[in-house]
Amino acid sequence: MIGTAQDQRQSSVARAERLRVNEIFYSLQGEADAAGYPTVFVRLTGCPLRCHYCDTEYAFHDGQWTDIGAVLAQVADFGTPHVCVTGGEPLAQPNCARLLAALCDAKYRVSLETSGALDTSVVDPRVAVVLDVKTPGSGEERRNRLENLTLLSPKDQVKFVICSRDDYEWSRAFVIAHALTERCQVLFSPSFHEVTPRALADWILADRLQVRFQLQLHKILWGDVPGK
């Protein structure tokens, strides 16, 4: 019985150190403040949202249970200081916070791509949070957790994926109402195939809106290719 109890404790500890990982790959960061840097991406499995423009639906279910130590070992193989934890929605896995802290402890420059629908207070303060505010055009506006906005700091970024002129107007009002440009960088990105980059650029300039226009660099380079 003693041996059985010990085995159970060891099994419990092992589970506490695991995450379900969809893929780990090396590419250029395509978005946000670290755009253009060679980066290791750790894509975790699972997401409670279903944005209509999602380009990573393959990450909703597929993945392998992996120890955090094994994740760090794979990340180290690529020899770059930049690591991005993404999804899906990475915070849907409770051990995501543990992974983020472990990466920071290993001296990586860590960013987290999150929908903002889940509590970001669990995220290590050393992590740069890239929070995606869901616009009406995403179909998931109701999932925005406004409490997360108060946790933002100058190292963080808030992203709006603009699907239409109505989305742009909504996002502009949201930025002003929540004084987001006083908290952190604000990014406006056109939804691929829905709003042309030029149209969004013209709207921002016409309104003298102090946000950062961005394109998804990886899609310009490789199109809709998973793992890029």
What percent of the chain has pLDDT above 90? 78
Average pLDDT over residues 1-30: 70
Whether 172 contacts 142, CB under 8 Å: no
Residue 14 confidence (pLDDT) above 80: no
Average pLDDT over residues 76-105: 97
Band the pLDDT of 220: cuts 50, 70, 90.
confident
Global pTM?
0.89
Average pLDDT over residues 69-74: 97
DSSP code, position 125: T
Distance of alpha carbon 48 from alpha carbon 151, whole angstroms: 22
What residue ranges in 155-197 does DSSP mark as E strands?
A: 157-162, 185-190
Cα 150 to chain centroid, rounded: 18
What percent of the chain has pLDDT above 70? 91
**pLDDT score of 224:** 66
Beta bridge partners of 44: 21
**pLDDT score of 13:** 44
Letter for the amino acid at 56? T
Q: Tokens standing for 31?
A: 């978005």
DSSP per-residue codes, 86-126: ESS-GGGSTTHHHHHHHHHHTT-EEEEEE-SSS--TTS-TT
Of 52 and 45, more confident: 45
**pLDDT score of 163:** 96
Distance of alpha carbon 189 from alpha carbon 201, whole angstroms: 9
Residue 4 confidence (pLDDT) above 50: yes
Residue 176 confidence (pLDDT) above 80: yes
Whether 71 contacts 42, CB under 8 Å: yes
Letter for the amino acid at 29? Q
Phi/psi-derived region of residue 193, left when phi > 0, alpha when psi is between -120 and 50, beta in every other case:
left
Q: Which CATH class is domain 16-222?
A: alpha beta
Radius of gyration of the chain from Cα atoms?
Answer: 18
**pLDDT score of 9:** 43
Average pLDDT over residues 34-38: 93
Of 222 and 182, more confident: 182
Q: Tokens standing for 203?
A: 């709207």
Residue 184 confidence (pLDDT) above 90: yes
Residue listed under structure tokens 């760090």? 72
Residue 195 confidence (pLDDT) above 90: yes
Band the pLDDT of 15: cuts 50, 70, 90.
low
Digit-coded pLDDT (tens) for 108-163? 999 999 999 999 999 999 999 999 999 999 999 999 999 999 999 999 999 999 99
